[in-house]
Chains A and B, each alone.
Chain A
Amino acid sequence: MPVEPPITSPRTLADAYAQLAEGPVTPIAGGTDLMVSLTGELGEPPERMLDLWHLDELRGIALDGDSLVLGALTTYTDLRRSSLCREHVPALVEAAATIGAAQIQNRGTIGGNAVNASPAGDTLPVLLALDATLVCGSVRGERDVPATAFWPGYRRTALAPDELLVRIRFPLVAGRASRFRKVGTRRAQSISKVVMALAYCAGTDGGLWTDVRLALGSVAPTPIRASATEAVLEGRPPIPAIAELAAETLAAELHPIDDVRSTAEYRRVVSARVLHRLIREAGGW
């Protein structure tokens, strides 16, 4: 039987912060990762838990100035149904559609995906590629953490023990395009072997790419940016020679591992091919 640690269900964010400040407590949002770990066979269960599901302050999708802001409890289904998300962060909508299937998408949240900090988390490369900011809150107030600093190590986040991830902010960048691709064993209910997000601004002058961001999951202990490959693409057009060079650079830049889902070699080769294909699709050749 699964273990059943004591849990409280605060109705306000202030109450949740207060409980977090009092001592060790494990927050739970949609439960799609945490519930699986509470079998009683996978190490010590949490002593106390904190149910976030009723905190409507952590819901909502809205434009705020030059940003799109998603509450941490935004589910993958919410994302897929949101016209704001489809317009401004299509790669994130694409990522959400590849996660689990309807049952998981109805419960799993973008905040949970970020805080679970799996290197295979499917939305995390999108957060990196779109320069997202993760807003962390506690009794001490709020602070912004850029996505590039949110996953400092394997399954670790920048959150302090008394902090919650409350919302994620995406800057709205004029002319930015984004692409997403996930490689798994099957279309639904699979965990990534490789997951990739690419963002760039395509100039009107011959289609040179600027502000290129390339981020990957499942190829390192954390989701990563591929900065050497970004440098190859920066200021260049999406033409065959550049695609070849970028793919070669990426294959040399990645150091994935063999594990239960795939091999290092497969991940390196497939990452390069997927990038080549994304550039080809963007270039229309």
Chain B
Amino acid sequence: MTAYRFAVNGAPVEVDVPGMRRLLDVLREDLALNGTKEGCGEGECGACTVLLDGSPVDSCLVPVCQVDGSAVLTVEGLAVAPTRPGQADGLDELQAAFLVTGGAQCGICTPGMLMAGRAYLDGGGGPDHDAIREAIAGNLCRCTGYTKIVEAIALAAVTNDGDAVR
């Protein structure tokens, strides 16, 4: 086995695991970060979406050897300690928006939706519903019918004032 070094949510990690282990399993089993969910395990549903060097990827399809030297952001990396008055529980603005619009039901898709939505917002995405729907086209939700998720991302796009920190 080889030791692979990368960053998870800003902190350096080193794992000594088979290089073909899925990033999803490294996060959940080796690093005990259970926020990232496994839905289909074949790149269809997007539940396991994390940001790899800022871009959304299905962590079930990425072998950890390909993550060496990169930066991974998971749903655990979104919330931070409150930095200003009125920021609810240190949630990322997108997480807070999901609470406002009712964007989560059973919750399995939610971490992936949050990460795909975060990437969209980080890329300068605005509140346009069609653009949001394209950004989350790789994430399946069987509860909400998507409307409230799209509304959450649109709300965060409006409130995203650029100094959100994580």
Is A187 a contact partner of B137 (Cβ separation < 8 A)?
A: yes
Is B137 a contact partner of A9 (Cβ separation < 8 A)?
A: no
- A190 to B41, alpha carbons, bound, how many Å? 16
Q: A106-B57, A107-B61 are in contact. Are A189 and B22 (CB under 8 A)?
A: no
Q: Is A228 on the interface with B (CB-CB < 8 A)? A: no
Is B137 a contact partner of A31 (Cβ separation < 8 A)?
A: no
Q: Is B71 on the interface with A (CB-CB < 8 A)? A: no
Is A106 a contact partner of B55 (Cβ separation < 8 A)?
A: yes
CB distance from B16 to the nearest CB of A (A): 13
Tell me if A's interface is mostly helix, strand, loop or mixed: loop
- The closest CB in chain B to the CB of A51 belongs to B65
Q: Is B119 on the interface with A (CB-CB < 8 A)? A: yes
Q: Is B46 on the interface with A (CB-CB < 8 A)? A: yes
- A188 to B43, alpha carbons, bound, how many Å? 12
Is A35 a contact partner of B43 (Cβ separation < 8 A)?
A: yes
CB distance from B102 to the nearest CB of A (A): 24
- A2 to B44, alpha carbons, bound, how many Å? 16
Is B55 a contact partner of A104 (Cβ separation < 8 A)?
A: no
Q: Which of A1, A6, A103 interacts with B138 by CB under 8 Å?
A: A103
Q: Is A38 on the interface with B (CB-CB < 8 A)? A: yes
CB distance from B43 to the nearest CB of A (A): 6
- A102 to B25, alpha carbons, bound, how many Å? 21
Is A102 a contact partner of B119 (Cβ separation < 8 A)?
A: yes
Is A103 a contact partner of B18 (Cβ separation < 8 A)?
A: no
Is A36 a contact partner of B42 (Cβ separation < 8 A)?
A: yes
Is B138 a contact partner of A189 (Cβ separation < 8 A)?
A: yes
Neighbouring A residues of B42 by C-beta, 8 Å: 36
Quick one: which of B21-75 are within 8 Å of A by CB? 21-22, 25, 41-44, 46, 49, 52, 55-58, 60-63, 65-66, 68
Is A35 a contact partner of B137 (Cβ separation < 8 A)?
A: no
CB distance from B123 to the nearest CB of A (A): 10
Most buried by B among A2, A30, A36, A103: A103
Q: Is A49 on the interface with B (CB-CB < 8 A)? A: yes
What would be 18 A-B contacts, judged by CB atoms less than 8 Å apart?
Answer: A1-B25, A7-B19, A7-B63, A7-B65, A9-B65, A9-B68, A32-B43, A51-B63, A54-B66, A100-B43, A101-B134, A102-B137, A103-B49, A103-B56, A187-B137, A188-B138, A189-B44, A189-B137
Which 6 A-B residue pairs are closest in the complex by CB-CB distance? Answer: A101-B138, A188-B137, A101-B137, A4-B18, A7-B19, A4-B20
